[in-house]
Amino acid sequence: EDQVTQSPEALRLQEGESSSLNCSYTVSGLRGLFWYRQDPGKGPEFLFTLYSAGEEKEKERLKATLTKKESFLHITAPKPEDSATYLCAVHGYYGGATNKLIFGTGTLLAVQP
């Protein structure tokens, strides 16, 4: 069964303290791995899509990497405005037009000034 596990569940950082979030996955065939940021009461905001092992993408203080079993979201010198829940989701090959994403439970990041 396809599964996505994120760790840690919650992370508290001081402003400027770099760290990484982990997303481990098992999927029958990976079509893509997505990272989203979600603020309370709002819809997930798209950050990155990674398609193959070894791929990396960067956006401001965030960098996402992908291996065959997991993905990391590296946060460099975070600021308080980076505080949010970060969701990882995988999109597998299910045949036909099926495109559902399977989400992890997220990592709640709090960055203190």
Q: Rule CB under 8 A: which residues touch other proteins? A: 31-32, 34, 36, 41-46, 49, 87, 89, 91, 94, 96-106
* Residue 80: cis peptide before it, omega within 30 degrees of 0: no
With respect to other proteins, which residue has the nearer C-beta, 76 or 103?
103
State how far the Cα of 82 lies from the Cα of 24, in Å rounded to an integer.
Answer: 22
Q: Half-sphere exposure (CA, 13 Å, Cβ side) for 57?
A: 14
Least distance (Å) between residue 18 CB and other proteins: 25
Minimum CB–partner distance for residue 91 and other proteins (Å): 6
Query: Whole-angstrom Cα distance, residue 93 to residue 30?
Result: 6
Cβ nearer to other proteins, comparing 27 with 102: 102
Answer positive or negative: Cα dihedral of 46, 57, 25, 8. negative
Task: Give the closest residue to 87 by CA, choosing from 27, 15, 4.
Answer: 4
- In the complex, least distance from residue 106 CB atom to other proteins, rounded to whole angstroms: 6
Q: Which is nearer to other proteins, 23 or 75 (CB)?
A: 23
Taking the complex as a whole, the smallest distance from the CB of residue 42 to other proteins amounts, in Å, to: 6
Please, which residue, 41 or 54, has the CB nearer to other proteins? Answer: 41
